[in-house]
Structure 1
Amino acid sequence: MPDTQSSLKIVSVEGFATSFPVRQGVTLGIGRAVKRDALIVKVITEGGLVGWGESHHGRCPGAIAQLINTTLRQLVTGMEAHDVVGVWARIYARQLASHGMGTACALAMSGIDQALWDIRGKAVGWPLYKLLGGSRRPVPAYAGGISLGFQPPAALVDEVAALRAQGYRAVKLRFGDSVARDVERLEAIRRAFGAELKIMVDANTGYRLDDVRRVMPALVAMDVAWLEEPFPPQDYRDYRHAAALGGVPLAAGENHYTRFEFNRLIREESVQVLQPDLSKTGGITEGLRIAAMASGEKLAIHPHTSASGLNMAASIHLLSAIENPGYFEADVARENLFRDQLTTRPDRLDADGNVMPGEAPGLGIEVDEDFLRAHPVIEGPAYV
C-alpha cells in the first residue's frame, strides 16, 4: 500500500497513446469516424501514490505522447505533486510560452495536471469536488459526444427516443451537412419530442458566415439553446458578425487553449456559451482559472468532453465546485471502449437527467492497464 504521508515528489510520468477501430462510424461535419484515439497519463510519486489523467490526442496521439514522455517528463520529474500551480508555471515558462509546441503542449500538460489533482485527492482521502471547495450536487447532462450524426431524420428520431428513455432531457444534434438537411433533421426532432426537449446544435467548424445567416431563423423558430462552433476557433471576425445576427447564442471553447485565449473570447463578447475541455485547455488548474474569469461576466461553463472516464470525472467534479456551472456533456456514442472498458464510468444518469460526482478519493476512476497494452495507437487520421 502507498504511504500517503510520504514524499509527494514526482518520480515517474508516462503517456500512453491508445486507439481502437470504429465499426459503424458516425458522420459529422469533420468527416466519418474510422477510429477513436485517447491519451492516458500516469504519474507516480516517491511515496507510491499513482495519479491518472487524460490528455486530448489532438488527432495525433503518438506525437502528444512523445512530448509527455520526453520534454515534459524531464521538466516535472522531481517536483512536488501537490504543487499544481508550480508545475503549470514551469511547463508554461519552459515550453508553452516561447519556442514550444503551442497547442500540443497545452494538450500534453492537461493530462499531467489532471493526474496531479488525482494524487492530491488521494493524498488527503478526498474526492476532487471537495478538494476544489464544492459540494456533492446534481449536474445536468446532455447527450453528446460522437453521436447523433447525419442520419436520415427517421433514424435520428429513433436514436433520440432511446436517449430520452435513458433519462436525457437535452441532446446535441450535429450540423455542418447542408443548411437544408441540418434544418430538416432539427425540425424532425422538435416535432417528435416537443418543447420539453432541450436541443443544442454543433456545426463542428463546418459553416460559413452565410450558412449561419441562413440557418438562424430556423434555430430561433425551433428554440435551439446554442449553435456550437460554426467556425474554426481563429475566425474571430466571423464569430463577431454571426453574434450580431442574434436569436441564438454561439458556443465555443473546446479548441481554445489556456486562459489567455479564453480571455480574448470573453472580452470580444461574441461567444456566450464557454466550453473548455479539461484535457485540452491546460487541465483542472487552468479550468478553474477560466471558470473564475467567466464568472466575472456571469457566463456559465459547459465543458467539452473527451474520450474516457478520466476526463468525464474531472468535468463533473469541476462543475460541482464552481459557482457558474453549466451542462455536463455525456458521451453517448454507440462505440467507445475508452468509456466502457479502459476506465470505470462516472456518468451514470439519474431519473432527472443529472449526473453526480463520485465519493472516491481524487478523480475516483480506475484504469485498466491491460487495455492500454492490448490497444496500441493506430496511426493515421481519425476521420475520412
Structure 2
Amino acid sequence: MRITAMETFLLQSPLERPFGWSQGWTDHRATGLLKITTDAGLVGWGEGISGPAAAILRDYFAPHLLGQDPMQRNALWHRMYHTLYNANLAGGFGGSALSAVDIALWDIAGQALGRPIYELLGGQVRDRVAVYATGLYYTEGEFPHRLLEEARGYVAAGFRGMKTKVGGLSLAEDVRRVAAIREAIGPDVHLMVDANQAYNPATAIRIGQMLAPYDILWFEEPVAAQDVDGYLQVKAAVPMAIAGGEGLRTRFDFRDFLARRALDIAQPDVINVGGITELRNVALMANAFGVQVNAHVWGSPVMIAATLHVMATVPPCPTARQPLPYQQEPVMEFDRTPSIIRETVCREPIQQQDGFVPVPDGPGLGIQVDEEAVRRLCVAHQRIP
C-alpha cells in the first residue's frame, strides 16, 4: 500500500453570536482537515492543516510521503520531524502539519487492520472518557442572564465540570462572573477558569487568590505559554491546580514543564503536539512525573475521535483501587460553543451522556467523515500532487 495523494480543506462556518476570550474576538469557527488517499482505496483523515501548515505539507512533507507505505507511521513521523528540525520549524504551524499527517496515518493503519486506533496503541484502559463542558465565553450582553442560563444548561445536560474564561475584563469584573457561575451551578460541579495567557505572574497570582473562595479546580494558562518560571511562580502562590500546554509542540516542548513540575495538569492538543504519536508520548511522560493529562480539544470530530483513542489508553494518575474523574482519571475538554463544523462533518456527531463520551470502536478513528459537508464548508482547497 502506498500514499498516492493528499488534500487539504480549510473549513469555516459563521457564528450567529460572536464570542471572545482574553486574546481576541471571533465571528466564525474554522479548522483545517487533511485527507490522505492510498492506492489500496483506503482514506485517512487528519486535522490541523490550515494556512502555513498547508504550505509545509506541500513543500517539506510531500516528497517524504508520496509513494511511501502509510503503515510505517513511526518512520514517517521522524522523517517529517527531521525536515523541520534544523530550521527550527517543528513549533507553530510545522507542529500542526506534522499532527495532521500523523492522525491520518493512524486512521489508515486502523482501517487496514480492521481495528480501532486504541487497539493499535495497546488496548483501552477505559471504554468511555469523562468530559467537561467548555463554553461560557464573553458575548455582548451575556452577563448575568445568558451566561448563567448557559451554565445551568451544562449541569442539566449531565456535565460534572465546566470551564469559563478570565482575562478579558478587569480582575473585579471577571471575579464577579466566576462568583455568579459558582452560585448558579452549586458546590458539587467542578468549575475551572482559563486565562489564555492573559496575565503576568504577579497579576495571575492576584486573581488566583481572589478566585480561591469559589473552589476553582484549575487555573489554565495563567501566563505566557513558554514561561516555565512564570508557571512555577504562580503555582507556588495560589491554592488551585495550574494547567497548561495546549499550544506546546512535541515532547521536547513539554520536557521542562514536566521535569520542573511547572504544571499540575498537562493539556496537550492532538492537532498541535504532533498527532496521536506524540500525544501518547507526552501523556506517558506526564504520567511518569505524576502530572495529570486532561487533553485540550477544540475542533472537528476528527480531533475529538483521535483524542478519545489516546485517552482510552492513558493509565490513571496515580493508580488507585477506584480511580475517579478529576482526581486520578483523565478528563477531556468537550467544546460546547456553537459550531456547524463540529456538528456536520461527521455523519454521526460525537455526543456526551452524563459527562462521558464513548470511545469509537470502529476501524481507525471509528468515525465517518461526510466529505460532502467538508466540501460545502471549504473555503480553500489544495491537492498534492
Of 112, 132, 140, which residue of structure 2 is paired with 1:142? 132
2:264 partner amino acid? Q
* Alignment-derived partner of residue 333 in structure 1: 337
Does 2:376 align with 1:374?
yes
Give yes or no for the alignment of 1:361 onto 2:348.
no
Change (3 A) 1:28 1:127: same
Residue 328 of structure 1 aligns to a residue whose secondary structure is strand
Aligned-partner Cα distance in 2 for 1:333–1:228: 18
Structure 1: any 5+ residue segments left out of the alignment?
A: 1-6, 379-384
Superposed, 1:1-384 pairs within 5 Å as 7=1, 9-55=2-48, 61-98=50-87, 100=89, 102-135=91-124, 136-144=126-134, 147-149=136-138, 151-176=142-167, 177-324=169-316, 326-334=330-338, 336-345=339-348, 347-351=350-354, 353-377=355-379
> What is the deviation of 1:95?
2.1
Q: Distance in 2 between matches of 1:69 and 1:42?
A: 13
Q: 1:96 to 1:16 in 2, by over 3 A?
A: farther
Q: CA deviation at 1:367?
A: 1.9
Q: Distance in 2 between matches of 1:286 and 1:99?
A: 18
Q: 1:211 to 1:99 in 2, by over 3 A?
A: closer
CA contact (8 A) 2:219 2:242 kept: yes
Task: Quickly say closer, same or farther: Cα 1:100–1:270, change in 2 above 3 A.
Answer: closer
- State the SS of the aligned residue for 2:172: helix
Structure 1: how far apart are the matches of 2:127 and 2:157?
A: 20
Shift of 1:97: 4.2
Mapped to 1, the partners of 2:111 and 2:86 lie a distance apart of 31
* Deviation digits for residues 116-170 of structure 1 (CA, Å, limit 9, x no counterpart): 11111111111122222233522111001x5533531332110011111111111
> C-alpha displacement at 1:79, in angstroms?
2.1
Deviation at 1:14, TM superposition (A): 2.1
Looking at structure 1, the residues matched to 206 and 43 of structure 2 have their Cα atoms a distance apart, in angstroms, of: 52
**Mind listing any 5+ residue stretches in structure 2 that lack a counterpart?**
317-328, 381-385
The one-letter code matched in structure 2 to 1:69 is R
Following TM superposition, by how much is the alpha carbon of 1:218 offset from its aligned partner in structure 2, in angstroms? 3.2
Counterpart CA distance in 1 for 2:91 and 2:204 is: 30
Q: 1:268 & 1:372 partners in 2: Cα distance?
A: 42
Is the 8 Å Cα contact of residues 209 and 238 (structure 2) preserved in structure 1? Answer: no
**CA distance 1:255–1:360, change in 2 (3 Å):** same
Q: What do residues 350-384 of structure 1 show as CA deviations (whole Å, max 9, x unaligned)?
A: 23x11110111111122222233333338xxxxxx
From the superposition, tell whether residues 344 and 321 of structure 1 become closer, same or farther in structure 2 (CA, over 3 Å): farther
Question: What is the percentage of aligned positions where both structures have the same residue?
Answer: 32
| Misfit runs of 4+, over 4 Å | none
Aligned residues: 364
Mapped to 2, the partners of 1:216 and 1:99 lie a distance apart of 35
Paired amino acid for 2:39: E
Alpha-carbon distance in 2 for matches of 1:348, 1:253: 25
RMSD between superposed Cα atoms in Å: 1.8
Assess if the C-alpha contact under 8 Å between 2:155 and 2:185 holds in 1.
no
Q: What does residue 3 of structure 1 align with?
A: none
Task: In structure 1, give the amino acid aligned to 2:379.
Answer: V
Name the amino acid aligned to 1:342.
V
Q: Is the 8 A contact 2:129 2:358 kept in 1?
A: yes
1:359 counterpart SS class: coil
Secondary structure (helix, strand or coil) at the match of 2:293 reads: coil
Q: Deviations over 1:331-367 (max 9, x none)?
A: 1012x1111112245632123x111101111111222
Cα 1:339–1:147 change in 2 (3 A) is farther
Cα deviation, residue 219, structure 1? 2.8
Q: Is the 8 A contact 1:16 1:65 kept in 2?
A: no
- Cα distance in structure 1, aligned partners of 2:115 and 2:86: 33
Which SS does the other structure have where 2:292 is aligned?
coil
Amino acid at match of 1:328: M
